[in-house]
């Protein structure tokens, strides 16, 4: 048998997914690989239990929605620059210079692609 997750992490994966968290966010939160999360979510087990455990109490706290874009805090700025006719590269440069944007160009470019 390959590597197995401990029961707490296995239940936490299921609960976090039920609360709408992505596989990547679950893996980051629980410090496991995305493949382990994916493998566990796809696995059908006869040992499935629905009895509440201590980890269920932690997982039932409200989970704040995770922004899909690193540019979300700059939405209004980006939209106003788009209205001015600026291109992706110029908007990225302005965010870096004016707001200390520390992420990569592609996060801006991808978010602009989604808005068009």
pLDDT tens string 44-99: 554 555 555 555 555 555 555 555 677 888 888 888 988 899 888 898 899 999 98
What's residue 46's pLDDT?
47
Which of 114, 62, 64, 63 lies closest to 88, judged by CA?
114
State the Cα–Cα distance between residues 52 and 30, nearest whole angstrom.
19
Which of 59, 57, 45 lies closest to 12, judged by CA?
59
Regarding pTM above 0.75, the answer is: no
Would you say 26 and 13 are in contact if contact means Cβ atoms under 8 Å apart? yes
Would you say 19 and 59 are in contact if contact means Cβ atoms under 8 Å apart? yes
What's residue 84's pLDDT?
92
What are the two backbone dihedrals, phi and then psi, of residue 71, each rounded to the nearest 5 degrees?
-90, 0
The answer on pLDDT for 105 being more than 50 is yes
What's residue 50's pLDDT?
58
pLDDT mean over 36-46:
75
The answer on pLDDT for 25 being more than 60 is yes
Between 20 and 2, name the one with better pLDDT: 20
Between 46 and 110, name the one with better pLDDT: 110
């Amino acid at each position: 048998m390959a590597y197995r997750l401990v029961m707490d992490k296995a239940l936490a994966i299921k609960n976090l997914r039920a609360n709408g968290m992505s596989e990547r966010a679950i893996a980051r939160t629980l410090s496991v690989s995305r493949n382990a999360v994916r493998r566990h979510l796809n696995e059908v087990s006869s040992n499935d239990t629905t009895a509440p455990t201590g980890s269920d109490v932690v997982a039932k706290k409200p989970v704040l929605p995770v922004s899909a874009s690193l540019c979300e805090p700059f939405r209004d700025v980006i939209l106003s620059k788009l209205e001015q006719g600026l291109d992706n590269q110029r908007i990225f440069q302005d965010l870096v210079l004016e707001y200390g944007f520390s992420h990569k160009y592609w996060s801006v470019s991808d978010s602009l692609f989604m808005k068009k």
